[in-house]
Structure 1
């Protein structure tokens, strides 16, 4: 979440008048994240999230995202569907951007999840995958394996501005991963593709919400778990692996959805791919984020360090 587009109070009040949500009391920009502009909105009838979709999110994909959230909500999962206005419309326009008013979920995201919290979150991911088994729509993964080489090339030798030798390091790892990447033989479904700790809301050890589905797509199901494992199992700089958290994630997921032997064998490779994906997207953002954006750039080297961990696991296996 972030703020790229400023919304005047007058424009927001007019926007809210389309809904049965009461009158505007306050709105505060949310600085975390890098994708969209987000506001915490309080009205006389409750609290909501306002999201304005920026250039990286294709407006044509929004019906897919909204349909997926409606599907999960109908199955009883704690997700934040878009609220429809009095005419039944969920996707609006505000300040020249596609925009949605979204259900607010209670809970907090975690900076340092415990093993018990990780286990609960992984169970929630598995429940999500089970609920999506009959989701009828398909969307290619815009940040999937076929995007990594082009993104690496767009960053180019500017990667060495982030760290000397980073271009060669990531280029060699990318070659290894793309050569070994599984193209067949793995279960595919709609996945979240970005289930970091800040996209899981919790109260104590209980999951109260899965949020921020704007990378959701059809891909290898266990790749979703690999993304989660790479995001949850390390300290913030990626230097220290917390095995107790990583093991809890795998245990929690498998309590609902056991891994097949070939999925277990491929897991370090899939996690290495997740690290490449986030190292490259963070590097691109690091090199291209507007100076005046209310957003915190994220360190791509934290994922390079994670990548080296999973590559060591692959060699040991």
Structure 2
């Protein structure tokens, strides 16, 4: 989350008027993240998050917003997009497509313990089961086709050794994706970005998941791998944190047991998750966009995670 587009109090008041949410009490830009413009909005009816979409189009956005509605109705604690009197949940602010969704209670747990990882595993599995009945279709826009397009763009900006690793891992992931085992993996709408800062807790209670704007139809295993690569590693080295990982996997499987093919391909998907975020961080770091409060993430973090995943495969 960042601020690419400045929203005035006048524009915020007009949106609240259309949504019949009462008077604006506070409008505050949110620091962090790299994709969209985000503000906290406090009004007479409560607290919300206003998002202006800087890359996603009005044609793409209904998939994300209606997925959040679908999950909220299924009892998954996610932000609920607010509708106008016509039932429309996609709005326009400052000439940009926008949404106003409920603000979740709690705060991010940036130093998770086993109990937090287990809670994420349980909720991720519940979310996958609930999402299975969602009928809209949209691919993971940061999936393999995007990796293949983006790697040639970032290669000129990095040294020979990381470039060789990037190219060899991309070739490996193309090989995996062409396999019959990969084709057999269960799939459906996934979050695809469920990092520590996208989950809210009060103590050990998971109170919400948010930032669904990288969601898309992909393998459920990839979603689990993305979580394991953030929640269950040592952040300084990228090394696997086995007790936390086991807690997450056990909790996930208690709700949705992994298939034989998922168990076999977990090491490959852990590498895929690391590759995806290494590529996107390289892209954001070397080809940034201007934004107030924008802080690109360090791309070398996921290079370390990928090297760890390749050198020390995790087996079930």
TM-score bracket, normalised by the shorter chain, equals over 0.9
Shift of 1:151: 0.9
1:1-317 matches, within 5 Å, as: 1-55=1-55, 57-160=56-159, 165-181=161-177, 182=179, 183-314=182-313
CA displacement at 1:177 relative to structure 2? 2.4
CA contact (8 A) 1:202 1:209 kept: yes
SS of corresponding position for 2:201? strand
* CA deviation string 1:120-145 (max 9, x = no partner): 11100000011112111211111112
Aligned equivalents of 1:82 and 1:46: distance in 2?
13
Q: Tell me, yes or no, if the aligned pair for 2:3 and 2:291 is still in contact at 8 Å.
A: no
The alpha-carbon deviation at position 238 of structure 1 amounts to 4.2
C-alpha distance 316-264 of structure 1, shift in aligned 2 (>3 A): closer
Gaps of 5+ in 1: none
Measured after TM superposition, the shift of residue 241 of structure 1 is 2.9
Q: Which SS does the other structure have where 1:109 is aligned?
A: coil
Deviation at 1:32, TM superposition (A): 1.6
Name the SS of the counterpart of 1:165 in structure 2: helix
Q: How far apart are residue 99 of structure 1 and its match? A: 0.7
Cα–Cα, structure 1 residues 293 and 168, in superposed 2: closer, same or farther, change >3 Å? farther
Q: In structure 1, how many angstroms separate the alpha carbons of the residues matched to 2:204 and 2:315?
A: 33
How many residues are treated as equivalent by the alignment?
313
Offset, 1:315 = 9.4
Instruction: Report the secondary structure of 1:143's partner residue.
Output: coil
Q: Contact 2:16–2:23 (CA<8 Å) still a contact in 1?
A: yes
Contact 1:237/1:301, CA 8 A, preserved across alignment:
no
Give the Cα–Cα distance (whole angstroms) in 1 for the partners of residues 57 and 111 of structure 2: 32
Distance 1:258 1:249 in 2: 12
CA contact under 8 A between 2:37 and 2:52: conserved in structure 1? yes
- 1:292 offset after TM fit, Å? 4.5
CA contact under 8 A between 1:109 and 1:202: conserved in structure 2? yes
Query: C-alpha distance in 2, partners of 1:88/1:267?
Result: 41
| Structure 1 contact 145–273 (Cα < 8 Å) conserved | no
**Structure 1 residues 244 and 11 mapped into 2: Cα distance closer, same or farther (>3 Å)?**
same
RMSD after superposition = 1.7
What is the DSSP-based 3-state SS (H/G/I as helix, E as strand, rest coil) of the residue aligned with 1:87?
coil
279-288 or 131-140, which deviates more: 131-140
SS at match of 1:174: helix
Could you tell me which runs of 5 or more consecutive residues in structure 2 were left unpaired when the two chains were aligned. none
TM-score scaled by structure 2? 0.94
